[in-house]
Amino acid sequence: MKNVVSGIGLVIFCVQALAAQPPLQTMIDCELAGSQHTISLLRGSPIIDSYIYKTRYAQMTRFVYDDAEASRGSEVQWQCASDQKNTNVLVVSGEFTSNYLQGALFYFDSTDGKIQRIDFAERNRPRWIKISAQGAQVIFENTGNESSHKYLSYGKNGSFLELDQFPVTSKGESLIQLNASEP
């Protein structure tokens, strides 16, 4: 009987310990288009050198990817970058579930009034973000030699381009150069 009571006590303790999720830590708040369109990058549940990453915007908290397992990352870097005018973006990249660095760009799309996302996976981190009326592009130098082209670009609605020339910006467009030591 004594063992049964001890066992029940141990089970209750374990259930309570597992149910009590450690709080998420805010890593960065990035105002994409004023305070009403702010996105926060959160992390929690550390295991060795990895964390589970989530975002919070529009009064909702979401995993960075589909679920907790896919959103567990290491060597994750983030940057809230600006074109020094009126456009900010949040870039997150790290080692999640792929052999490549995976990441996402979050930006405010003024045409539909929502925060949008562009996913990418490459051997290196992105170097530039181009913002235009058609949306955003995440631009990489092709250092992994996946193709014969010099630049790789991920865009809205899953578009992917291989470019020989660096994309030029026209009037009304902006180019954000990311810090090389950050994503």
Band (pLDDT 50/70/90 cuts) for residue 134 is confident
pLDDT of residue 83: 83
Q: Give the Cα separation of 28 and 137 in Å (integer).
A: 22
Tell me which of 36 and 39 has the higher pLDDT.
39
CA distance 92 to 88: 13
Q: Sorting pLDDT into bands at 50, 70 and 90, what band is 181? A: low
d(CA 87, CA 177): 13
Give 70's contacts (C-beta < 8 A, 6+ positions apart). 63, 96, 97
Provide the pLDDT for residue 21.
Answer: 57
Question: Residue 35 carries which DSSP code?
Answer: G
What pTM, to 2 d.p., does this model score? Answer: 0.84
> Minimum mean pLDDT among 1-5, 20-24, 119-123, 142-146: which range?
1-5
**The tokens of 180 are what?**
């090389």
Gap between the Cα atoms of 167 and 131, Å rounded = 11
